[in-house]
Amino acid sequence: MSELLDLNLVEATKALKNKKISSLELTNAYLKSISDTSSLGAYLEIVEDKAIRMAKESDKKLIDGTARPLEGIPIGIKDMFCTKDIKTTASSKILENFIPTYESTVTQNLWNDGAVILGKLSCDEFAMGSSNETAAKGNVINPWLKNKKMSPGGSSGGSAAAVAARSALAATGTDTGGSIRQPAAFCGITGLKPTYGRCSRWGIVAFSSSLDQAGPLTRTVSDAALMLNSMAGYDQKDSTSANLKMPDLMDYLDKGIKGKKIGIPKEYTQDGISEDIVKFYDKSIDSLRVEGAEIIPVSLPHTKYALPAYYIIAPAEASSNLARYDGVRYGARQEASSLDEMYELTRGNGFGDEVKRRIMIGTYVLSSGYYDAYYLKAQKVRRLIKEDFENVFKKVDYIITPSTPTTSFELGKKQDPLTMYLNDIFTVPASLAGLPGISLPVGLDKSGLPIGIQLIANSFDEPGLISTARVLEMSAGYNFIADGAAK
Amino acid sequence: MNETSTLKPGHIQGETGIWEMVIGLEIHAQISSKSKLFSGASASFGSEANRNVSLVDAAMPGMLPVINEFCVEQAVKTGLALNAKINNVSVFDRKNYFYADLPQGYQISQFTKPIVGEGEVIVDLDDSEHTTIGIERLHLEQDAGKSLHDQHPTKSYIDLNRTGVALMEIVSKPDIRSPQEAGSYVKKIRSILRYIGACDGNMEEGSLRADCNVSVRKSGEEFGTRCEIKNLNSIRFIIQAIQSEAERQVDILETGGTIDQETRLFDPSTGETRSMRSKEDAHDYRYFPDPDLLPLEFTESWVQGIKEKLPELPDSLKKRLVKDFGITSYDASILVEEKDYVDFYQQAANGRDGKLTANWMITELFGALKKDNLSFSESPISSKNFGELVSLITNGTISGKIAKDVFAEMMKSKKSPSEIVKEKGLEQVSDDSEILKLIDQVISNNQDKVAEYLGGKDKLFGFFVGQIMKLSQGKANPGIVNKLLKEKLK
């Protein structure tokens, strides 16, 4: 069993194609993992029958030589993706019994490429959170230092925990302000947020439409490349989807970074970053230099305004995007004697505190009299942040930063929403600028928790991002397995 | 004659003097598109409830709007037809409010950057005068669904068929000064929309509705506080509602009150408006650009391409009809009201007496259709037959009087006028010898009257003509009868 779980995604694809293993064996191993690690709470829904059925179909294709790129690979899906005939709740009580009649474009792309669904993964409610604690069904536990009950990060906490716990070979996530990269960093795995527009948003429960972007959470950089190859693509059903063909990322794994310029933004090295993270950040920079990159100090002067701007724009869009959960057509409805009362009870009971907080902030910043001072100003800041990156990318090819200011924290310890928001301080700027970013694990801190480093590339330069990340991954030589992972 | 009847339309005589109305209209025109503005669902009218609803219309989680390009083209076409500025970059905004028949919790509309900017239309008034009304803007937006409150004692039912149907909102400047002018303005807009095929203009089915902003002031003063009357779906109601609302405002102002800015509804059963919601209860719509949609952008050449394909519009057609067919400007304005009319007229009048054709069409044909409760498209008389009838009159085959009988028969039998004339032997008698026979007969039957006439009683001439016509069963050519009779009675 353990040998099957030891295979990463790329290795598993090879083993399947060489008929060393079958998809049914692999899928069963993962289904067992799911049950072995169920105390982590990563899965909201397990679709065993469907997984086995899909695995058997994949085995047929593997035998008759018509295997597709992800043939027979068992993966988990963040509960923000609508999956046909499978409950999709966005970790919210308001959608507790919602079963879509349609499949999101990104997940459909994965099934079209042969992937096997294991189940739906927990996340923060409507992807709003950085610790997975806002999930209606309770938090997910990070498989690292399992007994201490650490946060897996969020919002894609279930996805990151499942990949780290080896209860999914890979998982999908969504990233609005860091929701793929931060949990990946906390759980010691790789998380890639593509350029805004790379993956279709069609069928993904919307949080903040101008920021939401799907991406993979995987064990390695090459696994991420293989997953994103399948997930990405132009979709006419999403007007913001980019009509650009993405090159095969697997071709870029070993391109190296000789002669490339790597920017070190001075704004990302302020106080408040844990010492261990600074140490590994410096080490990572050195290793890139050793591999032939030129290291150049750069400045992104508006970085400090990114978080405030983000916490205006994202809630503003969310307040409008979540208006549809009104109890009229689907989802949980609280009966009442008037329409207004029905709205109040349905939404009052259906949404958790963090979601309500953001709806209220969003409603406030869009209100007449406040719109100019908040929403409009935040949009101007966003423009300036984008220009910061545009200027820097005239001088350098990639930017390297820590993924998070700290490693994972104990669940239930960060009660203050503002402190929680600071988790995203390094991931939010690239989100506002729509740029691709990847977080990969480079080591463990003193307490034994994974440290993630983030690389940011220019728009639609996922190929270069993969090359650079791969170099960093090789030199970091990170090969730790969480103590809470399935054996 | 009492004093009020000398007032100009749109003026109200109060105790303190004459009040003037200031009116601005927001016309909501449904675009003649098979599918909705942002979804592929059918936009057809009259389907069973909730039949034309896509996942996007029902605002299912994760669904995204995709713009219907046909609708964009119709809006640009309309903008061009209204002599308006086309904004090559425009933005869709979300107008946020909760209602059971608004699934998304917001309407996608255009707020700060509409697709069409300022323009103007020339509006024909009854007494062959015209006035120019400014257009403030035109924007694209989604229609809402329908709430049915009378199906169940405690529940409301929701029909989402209309949800997401494409509307153009055409906003006028406050340039309108009377209810009649407002009515003519709506007629003109409807006519233009139908010419270019952007909207069918069907007010009964709700394809065209108007919100009317009404205020009153003393001539030359600043604009007063306005009230908005929502959702009027006939020109008659628009006229009634504006008149009654303006009178209500004058009553309040004259008794020392002030007008509260509010939204009002018109009740056709009382002919009056009543308050719907006050300014304090007005929604804060929290408009912001819809992040699911990119700005609409188009090139000058694309707009030019649409402009080149525009059909001839009523104003230019009207001028051409006056010039080519010699008809009055008033008749021309009636004929250009509908594309169908003018097409019919041009076919019928081609190579014939344009004035006579216009007269016959406006008085006889329109009158008969109205009497039989038929729409123009249901007319039993084709333009070809109608033109033939005009020819029969002008070439003297039948008299105008006989022509009316032939026309009545055409309305019934759909036969061509020549057929009818032939079958019934209605050809006009213009042969001198035939007519002389009739004259001789009448003279011999009325020797006494002839003597009186020759004795100086000139009036009797008409009597003889009448007798001759009667004897000919109306078929004698009256011109020839006159001429020959005069010679005979010299």
pLDDT in tens, B264-303: 999 999 999 999 888 777 789 999 999 999 999 999 999 9
pLDDT score recorded for residue A415: 67
The verdict on A206 touching B (C-beta cutoff 8 Å) is yes
Map chain A to HEC letters.
CHHHHHCCHHHHHHHHHCCCCCHHHHHHHHHHHHHHCHHHCCEEEECHHHHHHHHHHHHHHHHCCCCCCCCCCEEEEECCECECCECCCCCCHHHCCCCCCCCCHHHHHHHHCCCEEEEEECCCHHHCCCCCCCCCCCCCCCCCCHHHCECCCCCCHHHHHHHHCCCCCCEEEEECCCCCHHHHHHHCCEEEECCCCCCCCCCECCCCCCCCEEEEEECCHHHHHHHHHHHCCCCCCCCCCCCCCCCCHHHHCCCCCCCCEEEEEHHHCCCCCCHHHHHHHHHHHHHHHHCCCEEEEECCCCHHHHHHHHHHHHHHHHHHHHHHCCCCCCCCCCCCCCHHHHHHHHHHHHCCHHHHHHHHHHHHHHCCCCCHHHHHHHHHHHHHHHHHHHHHHHHCCEEEEECCCCCCCECCCCCCHHHHHHHHCCCHHHHHHCCCEEEEEEEECCCCCEEEEEEEECCCCHHHHHHHHHHHHHHHCCCCCCCCCCC
pLDDT over threshold 90, residue B401? no
CA–CA distance, A348 with A334 (Å, rounded to integer): 10
What kind of architecture, by CATH, is found in domain A1-487? Answer: Alpha-Beta Complex (3.90)
Which chain A residues have a beta carbon less than 8 Å from that of B58? 329
The verdict on A96 touching B (C-beta cutoff 8 Å) is no
Of B59, B67, B286, the CB nearest to A367: B286
- Which residue spans of chain B are classified as CATH 1.10.10.410? 432-488
pLDDT over threshold 70, residue B8? yes
The catalytically annotated residue of A33, A155, A284, A408 is: A155
Q: What is the pTM of this model?
A: 0.91
Q: Residue B1's pLDDT band (boundaries 50, 70, 90)?
A: very low
Interface pTM (ipTM) of the complex?
Answer: 0.96
Q: What is the pLDDT along chain A (487 residues), one digit of tens a residue?
A: 579 999 999 999 999 999 999 999 999 999 999 999 999 999 999 999 999 999 999 999 999 999 999 999 999 999 999 999 999 999 999 999 999 999 999 999 999 999 999 999 999 999 999 999 999 998 999 999 999 999 999 999 999 999 999 999 999 999 999 999 999 999 999 999 999 999 999 999 999 999 999 999 999 999 999 999 999 999 999 999 999 999 999 999 999 999 999 999 999 887 779 999 999 999 999 999 999 999 999 999 999 999 999 999 999 999 999 999 999 999 889 999 999 999 999 999 999 999 999 999 999 999 999 999 999 999 999 999 999 999 999 999 999 999 999 999 999 887 678 778 888 999 999 999 999 999 999 999 999 999 999 999 999 999 999 999 999 999 999 999 999 999 8
The verdict on A202 touching B (C-beta cutoff 8 Å) is yes
The verdict on A104 touching B (C-beta cutoff 8 Å) is yes
Which chain B residues have a beta carbon less than 8 Å from that of A202? 62-64
CATH topology of domain B432-488: Arc Repressor Mutant, subunit A (1.10.10)
What does residue B28 show for φ and ψ, rounded to 5 degrees? -105, 110
CA–CA distance, B413 with B390 (Å, rounded to integer): 18
The verdict on A339 touching B (C-beta cutoff 8 Å) is yes
The catalytically annotated residue of A179, A208, A222, A241 is: A179
The question of whether A155 is a catalytic residue gets the answer yes
Which chain B residues have a beta carbon less than 8 Å from that of A324? 59, 61, 103-105
pLDDT score recorded for residue B460: 87
